[in-house]
Amino acid sequence: MPITQYLERNSREYPNDVCLVEINPEIKENRRVTWKEYELIEPNTKQSYRREITWRVFDEKANRFANLLLQRGIKKGDKVAILMMNGLEWLPIYFGILKTGALAVPLNFRYSSDEILYCVQLAEVDVLVFGPSFIGRVEEIADEVSKGRLLIYVGENCPSFADDYNSLSANCSSQAPCIGITDDDDAAIYFSSGTTGFPKAILHKHKALMHSAQVEQAHHGQQKDDVFLCIPPLYHTGAKMHWFGSLISGSKAVLLIGTKPEFILETVSKEKCSIVWLLVPWAQDILEAIESGKVNLDDYELDQWRLMHIGAQPVPQSLIKHWKEIFPHHDYDTNYGLSESIGPGCVHLGVENIHKVGCIGKAGYGWQVKIVDENRKEVEKGQVGELAVKGDGVMICYYRDEKATKEVLEDGWLFTGDMAQEDEDGFILLVDRKKDVIISGGENLYPVQIEDFIRTNNKVHDVAVIGLPHARLGEIAAAIVELKEGETMTEEELDEFCLKLPRYKRPRKIIFADIPRNPTGKIEKPKLRQIYGATKLIADQNMG
């Protein structure tokens, strides 16, 4: 069944239960809103605001937007793009699109004007829905993007080149439109990270959305009284598909705008959050804030917090070991996935397997996995190969890109581009991205392994290892190291620390600098390679 039916069920069974809360600790002034709002004054005198909606209001908002689209001629199979920051409006708009039978097309909020236009044209978008943060970027391309497309603005002070969501939707029916939708109908287009150029458009059917919801609920067992804290951007499959577990259980979720440790802990405390999905940098920041005394755990009520899970990137064992020392009562889980596999969960560690932290786990609920060589033949246990996954969450194709589709899809299997190996107990260890592997003097170096080691240094906040060109060895491993606040370190100190590594794995160049990460927490290695790899290094005959 389409996932919209869960929303309609919750509206019937839990009409007055709060389903979504939005908290923005950094807002500087209140603004007029149409949904229930509470003003909060924080101890540090900063003003904050909190908004909430019930399941009934959520469903009504989705229905009003669906009927607005239908009135404007949008029909089953059309595409509606969403370019908005996280907030209470985001998910009702997403579900309103699905209820019309149109495809939802979420866009990355970091996209430049050129990237927005590219994605809108590639996905053949019929409507662009955008928020206040994007007025300038959309205005730059308004003449081009508005050709044959409807522009709808969500916020106050609607610009002249767009239609106003608030006034238009208020006059639409709150009853569900009668549009027949099946599991095999197209549902959404998501975009890849675009690490090798402009992003690819990833097409999914309704059965993939339903599969992701069932996977999430099976893995984390959300109950009606759970409260999920959602911080990452909703345009990404990860955040939304983890929230789908709340949708199935009819439980509350909190959208937090901000990632500071004190914001996260304060929200967990006040909203009684029991499940929190973090990215590696945020977990690191929380631990460092506790260690430095910037936050005091005694100031918060955290006993109800039962599960912390991480995804979107390799998770250092040292991080989770430290986390469990601070929060010994927390269950911990890792989920692996891609937008091409409708987000997290195609490989899953499981809270019962915390002794295997460092691995990403085994095949998730309803998934199959295998590790293959360059000829796509399964490798023996313990050998490194490319990870492939198969299940109802695999994309249909890269939209309008047959060549790229054929490169990664074969007989229902999605070849992920991630290098992995299976240990003696059948758990999968993610070695590295295929394109990130460094070949130095004929040896394959896997940056993640070197990064995990360097992170065990107490002075290191973050690290990224990339390959830089070398006249004799082809490539060398370079470590870009970001130190914790207030710490100092020399190259000689880190060189000495790395003597514990096998000689061929030791970084041959060390750079102290900030590590850029994208909104889903992944290190932006293409950006680092562009910054540091543009000039070919001079051969050093003493390196050997």
pLDDT tens per residue, range 52-76: 999 999 999 999 999 999 999 999 9
Cross-strand partners of 317: none
Residue in the structure block whose two tokens are 């290892």: 465
Please say if the pLDDT value at position 536 is more than 80: no
Local confidence band at 191 (pLDDT 50, 70, 90 cut-offs):
very high
Q: Locate 27 and state its tokens.
A: 């807002």
Cα(48)–Cα(40) distance, integer angstroms: 5
In a domain, 248, yes or no: no
Q: What is the CATH number of the domain that holds 128?
A: 3.40.50.12780
pLDDT at 239: 86
pLDDT at 472: 61
Domain end point (choices 206, 222, 243): 206
pLDDT digits (tens, 9 = 90+) for 106-118: 998 888 898 899 9
pLDDT at 36: 54
Mean pLDDT value of segment 179-192? 95
Full residue range of the structural domain in which residue 193 is found: 54-206
How many Cβ atoms are within 10 Å of 311's Cβ, its own excluded?
A: 27
In a domain, 25, yes or no: no
Please say if the pLDDT value at position 86 is more than 70: yes
Please say if the pLDDT value at position 194 is more than 60: no
In a domain, 329, yes or no: no
Domain total in the chain: 2
pLDDT at 193: 67
In a domain, 330, yes or no: no
What is the DSSP annotation of 302-365? Answer: -TT--EEEEESS---HHHHHHHHHH-TT-EEEEEEEEGGGTEEEEEE--GGGGGGBTB-BEE-T
Local confidence band at 40 (pLDDT 50, 70, 90 cut-offs):
very low
Inter-axis angle of helices 90-99 and 4-13, nearest 10: 110
Local confidence band at 364 (pLDDT 50, 70, 90 cut-offs):
very high
Domain end point (choices 206, 225, 260): 206
Please say if the pLDDT value at position 312 is more than 70: no
Local confidence band at 310 (pLDDT 50, 70, 90 cut-offs):
confident
In a domain, 430, yes or no: no
Cα(137)–Cα(134) distance, integer angstroms: 5
Cα(338)–Cα(344) distance, integer angstroms: 7
pLDDT at 198: 72
pLDDT at 358: 83
Mean pLDDT value of segment 198-219? 94
Cα(158)–Cα(168) distance, integer angstroms: 12
Local confidence band at 437 (pLDDT 50, 70, 90 cut-offs):
confident
Mean pLDDT of the chain: 88
pLDDT digits (tens, 9 = 90+) for 440-457: 766 678 788 888 889 889
Please say if the pLDDT value at position 196 is more than 70: no
Please say if the pLDDT value at position 101 is more than 70: yes
CA distance readout (Å), 167 to 152, 155, 172, 176: 11, 10, 9, 19
3-state secondary structure of 221: coil
Please say if the pLDDT value at position 31 is more than 70: no
Query: Higher model confidence: residue 279 or residue 391?
Result: 391
Across 81-90, 355-364, 520-529, the highest mean pLDDT is recorded for 81-90
Question: Where on the phi/psi map is residue 312: left (φ > 0), alpha (ψ -120 to 50), or beta?
Answer: left
Amino acid at 83: L
Please say if the pLDDT value at position 138 is more than 50: yes
pLDDT at 523: 81
pLDDT at 313: 65
pLDDT digits (tens, 9 = 90+) for 12-30: 999 999 999 999 987 744 4
Please say if the pLDDT value at position 541 is more than 60: no
pLDDT at 395: 97
Q: Residue 333's closest CA among 413, 464, 446, 245?
A: 245
CA 336 distance to own-chain centroid? 11
Sign, CA torsion 270/274/278/282: positive
pLDDT at 504: 77
Do 382 and 423 contact (CB within 8 A), yes or no? yes
Do 262 and 294 contact (CB within 8 A), yes or no? yes
Angle at 436 (CA atoms; ends 435, 442), nearest 5 degrees = 95
Least confident of 79-93, 137-151, 184-198, 417-431: 184-198
Mean pLDDT value of segment 519-538? 68
CA 507 distance to own-chain centroid? 29
In a domain, 403, yes or no: no
Domain end point (choices 174, 206, 238): 206
Burial class (CB in 10 A: 0-12, 13-18, 19+), 497: middle
Least confident of 28-32, 46-50, 86-90, 473-477: 28-32
In a domain, 243, yes or no: no
Sign, CA torsion 286/290/296/300: positive
Q: What is the CATH number of the domain that holds 480?
A: 3.30.300.30
pLDDT digits (tens, 9 = 90+) for 245-261: 999 999 999 999 999 99
Sheet with 307-311, strands from edge to edge, namely: 36-41, 47-54, 18-24, 252-256, 227-230, 275-278, 307-311, 331-338, 343-348, 362-363
In a domain, 286, yes or no: no
Cα(73)–Cα(66) distance, integer angstroms: 11
Helices (H) and strands (E) in the chain, counts: 16, 28
Cα(261)–Cα(510) distance, integer angstroms: 29
Least confident of 114-128, 214-228, 285-299, 441-455: 441-455
Mean pLDDT value of segment 230-247? 92
